């Protein structure tokens, strides 16, 4: 039995949760999200708590139990608080700018790299930091990973785009004899 799946999910103030069939929909100050769960999983709303349980105890349902609870939790947390990823840009002349619905990165290539910001995400630039925020945890994380992939931090000088909490293992360069 999953230890994560057993935990009840508290519904914060100002968040509305509705369960219709196999779909749970949450509305809050950050927007509206929904998640459709598997037929092997039951989701019930009791007062200010959402409880995830198993329909029948099979190997497949036990695999989905903890996952479903976490995904329902992410939907509820996303509409009430939102999620945020922070990236930092390291390198001389490396910069980022947001124009309309595009993120423009100048990171040492012969041309600027332009990424379209997905709907529902908010991107801010503060000095050499890129702050990505939104209600859907999956889209926030995927867009942050796509930006990092453009110019990963290299181990010799540490130049590139990295997460704020990421540590880059530095290597010693060539030595002159």
pLDDT interval class at 16 (50, 70, 90): very high
Same structural domain, 130 and 115: yes
Q: What average pLDDT does range 87-110 have in this prediction?
A: 95
- Burial bucket for residue 76 (CB in 10 Å: 0-12, 13-18, 19+): buried
pLDDT interval class at 1 (50, 70, 90): low
| 4 located within any domain | no
Same structural domain, 74 and 93: no
| 176 located within any domain | no
Looking at 57, 80, 103, the residue that finishes a domain is 80
Q: Using the predicted structure, report yes or no on whether residue 49 has a pLDDT greater than 90.
A: yes
CA geometry: angle at 63 spanning 61 and 69, to 5°?
Answer: 85
Q: Using the predicted structure, report yes or no on whether residue 27 has a pLDDT greater than 90.
A: yes
Looking at 80, 110, 128, the residue that finishes a domain is 80
Q: Where are the alpha helices (DSSP H) in the chain?
A: 59-80, 137-150
Q: Using the predicted structure, report yes or no on whether residue 140 has a pLDDT greater than 70.
A: yes
Pairing label, strands 9-10, 16-20: unpaired
Q: What average pLDDT does range 5-17 have in this prediction?
A: 91
- Burial bucket for residue 56 (CB in 10 Å: 0-12, 13-18, 19+): exposed
Q: What are phi and psi of 126, to 5 degrees?
A: -130, 110
Q: How far is Cα 121 from Cα 119, in angstroms, rounded to an integer? A: 6
Q: How far is Cα 165 from Cα 153, in angstroms, rounded to an integer? A: 13
Q: Using the predicted structure, report yes or no on whether residue 59 has a pLDDT greater than 70.
A: yes
Output the 3-class SS for 79-127: HHCCEEEEEEEECCCCEEEEECCEEEEECCCCCCEEEECCCCEEEEEEC
- Boundaries of domain holding 95: 83-163
Q: What average pLDDT does range 37-46 have in this prediction?
A: 91
Q: What is the pLDDT of residue 20?
A: 92
| 172 located within any domain | no
Based on its alpha-carbon atoms, the radius of gyration of the chain, rounded to whole angstroms, reads 21
Arithmetic mean of pLDDT over the chain: 93
Provide the whole-model pTM.
0.90
Report the side by side order of strands in the sheet with 31-36.
16-20, 23-28, 31-36
Q: Using the predicted structure, report yes or no on whether residue 6 has a pLDDT greater than 90.
A: no
Domain CATH for 114: 3.90.930.12
pLDDT interval class at 91 (50, 70, 90): very high
pLDDT interval class at 56 (50, 70, 90): confident
Q: Using the predicted structure, report yes or no on whether residue 22 has a pLDDT greater than 70.
A: yes
Q: What is the pLDDT of residue 63?
A: 87
Q: What is the pLDDT of residue 153?
A: 94
């Amino acid at each position: 039995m999953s230890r994560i799946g057993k935990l009840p999910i508290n519904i914060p103030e100002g968040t509305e949760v509705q369960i219709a069939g196999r779909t749970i929909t949450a509305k809050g100050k950050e927007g509206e999200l929904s998640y459709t769960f598997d037929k092997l999983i039951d989701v019930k709303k009791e007062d200010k708590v959402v409880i995830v349980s198993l329909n029948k105890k099979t190997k497949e349902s036990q695999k989905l139990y903890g996952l479903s609870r976490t995904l329902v939790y992410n939907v509820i947390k996303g509409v009430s608080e939102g999620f945020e990823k922070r990236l930092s840009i390291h390198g001389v002349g490396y910069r980022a700018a947001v124009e309309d619905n595009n993120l423009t990165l100048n990171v040492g290539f012969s041309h600027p790299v332009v990424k379209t910001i997905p709907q529902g995400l908010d991107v801010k630039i503060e000095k050499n930091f890129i702050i990505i925020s939104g209600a859907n945890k999956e889209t926030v994380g995927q867009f942050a990973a796509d930006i990092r992939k453009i110019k990963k931090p290299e181990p010799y000088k540490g130049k590139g785009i990295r997460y704020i909490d990421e540590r880059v293992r530095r290597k010693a360069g060539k030595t002159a004899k």
